[in-house]
Amino acid sequence: MQVAKSDPLTGAQIVMRALEEEGVDTVFGFPGGAVLFLYDALYACSSIRHILVRHEQGAAHAADAYARATGKPGVCFATSGPGATNLVTGITNAYMDSVPMVAFTGQVSLDLLGRDSFQEADITGITLPVTKHNFLVKDVGDLARIIHEAFHIASTGRPGPVLVDLPKDVTAAKADFVWPPKMQLPGYRVPKNGHGVNVPQWVEVLSRSERPVIYAGGGVITSGASSELLKLAEKCQIPVTTTLMGKGCFPEDHFLSLGMLGMHGTAYANYAVTNCDLLIALGARFDDRVTGSIASFAPQAQVIHVDIDPAEIGKNVLVQIPVVGDVRQVLATVLPALPELKHEAWLAQVEEWKKQYPLRYERSDTQIKPQQVIESISNLADDQTIVCTDVGQHQMWAAQYYRARRPRTFISSGGLGTMGFGLPAGIGAQVGRPEANVWVIAGDGSLQMTVQELATITQHDLPVKIAIIDNGYLGMVRQWQELFCEGRYSHTRITGPDYVKLAEAYGIPGYRIEDPGQVREALEQAKAMEGPVILDFVVCCEENVFPMVPPGGSLTEMLGNGR
């Protein structure tokens, strides 16, 4: 910033100084009248990169994925009214998946609030249920403190989005920049070391268990507990299944990995959970896509549940050993006391299930199968490759057939299931991790929801590789219509543009692949190219995602190859 520290700053300049204090290097956003001064201050700020998106929803998703890829809070800007409301889906997505994000929105001037003024929206009221906290700044003298608190709240405890609403006259008013010397938030407490952790009890329960399973969620990645999780699994010889949010927290090529469990999880993971006598849940929330019927979920198991959010303990599943705390801190406390254990009979049973019910699909010489594309991307990926998915059938195939080996390398919309997430997520991941190969795996339906962000990729020269699983349907809905509506495909047939010409229109090389024999070669060529590439894989439109647990069913009542 070109402003002497002793000079009073405008509110907009205070925002920039505060972002610098927080270590922010990137903001995703879209300008407008209510944030005019904010963008003017940004123009003079050389330390913060701004990524101009084409729709505010893209800014929120990109900030979300930036946070997931880097571990740092994502930041986005939007103007008042429609600019702010366009962020809401992205904010909700981050809230559902516990992602640290700070969203700044412009607001009409204080004297115009509540008068239905041009481009006025009560964004703090609108986002109240989908933010961890939000602020309407009424005094420029409070601005630096509020921003410091916003970042602290967003990134501590169970992370989540925080919104800071900035009336235009507050961004124009002046005040001295005063950075709070310490954080003072009475009533906001973050559990760390594990309230309720009882090491002798863990030793006793684990030593008595004959069929333990670890169920690991996104909280393992958030807390940085992957190394401790690996030590626990190997020391006590316990198989590990992960949620969609937890993919990558445990290497999926490890012999103790069960892959994902739940509705579209592996059959062997579902059988293992159903038959285990001890379930160690780490940073996971027992959502309905995981448990199916609560009554039949892990019916023989004692449950240890470690979560930093006390509201999650016992919310969906009865827990015998609750621990409120940071997963890494808890495991670091417990691990030294645990004995080395063997569960040879149990692991032999798990191995038998793996052989009996592997993930499989019918290969074809004439049609590309979606699973083939995902498998090939997985085979080409190195440990640093990041995959961002959209939502639908391709997302579940990616969860099944892409083997994530490191945390923060598989980014997907879990809780909200937001179509349109994948492409802007790829932008955020690539900006946050420029050294990584970033792949977006999208459906032809979901890509069209935020396809305008191809212009963002071109403008900022981001080498994102995009693989479209093009089946001409809203595939997951079509699958449910086939299974539960007697094949009445009500409004799920979808047409799209010529993706090769669309890619060219945005200045991106595009290729259509229809021959199964050309899948690997196309992916290798795309990987070798320096810039972005779009690959339109025309796939078999009748292919379904199996195994599948019908909604509300037991984990052992699987359709498809889990039987």
d(CA 360, CA 505): 38
Nearest Cα to 271, choosing from 339, 385, 198, 351?
351
**251: Cβ–Cβ under 8 A, 6 or more apart, which residues?**
230, 257, 405, 406
Q: Give pLDDT, residue 4.
A: 45
Show the low-confidence residues of the chain (pLDDT under 70).
Answer: 1-6, 561-563
Q: Which residues contact 474 (CB under 8 A, 6 or more apart)?
A: 392, 443, 445, 492, 494
Q: Which residues does 511 contact at the CB level (< 8 Å), separation at least 6? A: 500, 522, 526, 533, 534, 535, 536
Two tokens at 497? Answer: 């543009």
Region of residue 319 (phi > 0: left; psi between -120 and 50: alpha; otherwise: beta): beta
* Residue position matching structure tokens 């991307």: 377
Tokens 């403190």 sit at which residue? 145
C-alpha to C-alpha distances, 116 to 113, 167, 170, 289, nearest whole angstrom:
7, 14, 19, 41
> Residue 6 has what pLDDT?
66
- The pLDDT score that the predictor gives to residue 234 is 98
The pLDDT of residue 465 is 98
Tell me the C-alpha distance between 406 and 32, whole Å.
Answer: 39
The three-class DSSP label of residue 207 is helix
Going from the C-alpha of 427 to that of each of 28, 58, 414, the distances in angstroms are: 10, 9, 18
Q: What is the pLDDT of residue 2?
A: 42
Q: Is 238 left (phi over 0), alpha (psi -120 to 50) or beta?
A: beta
* pLDDT for position 563: 54
Give the per-residue pLDDT at 3: 42
Between CA 452 and CA 428, with CA 64 as vertex, the angle to 5 degrees is: 55
Q: Which pLDDT score, from 0 to 100, does residue 1 have? A: 43
- 512 phi and psi, to 5 degrees? -105, 135
CB 510 within 8 A of CB 536: yes
Q: Residue 530 gets which letter from DSSP?
A: S
| 202 touches 334 (CB < 8 A) | yes
**pTM metric for this prediction:** 0.97
What residues are paired with 51 via a beta bridge? 28
The whole-number pLDDT of residue 193 equals 82
Instruction: Please give the positions annotated as active site.
Output: 56, 118-119, 168, 476
Strand partners, 303: 279
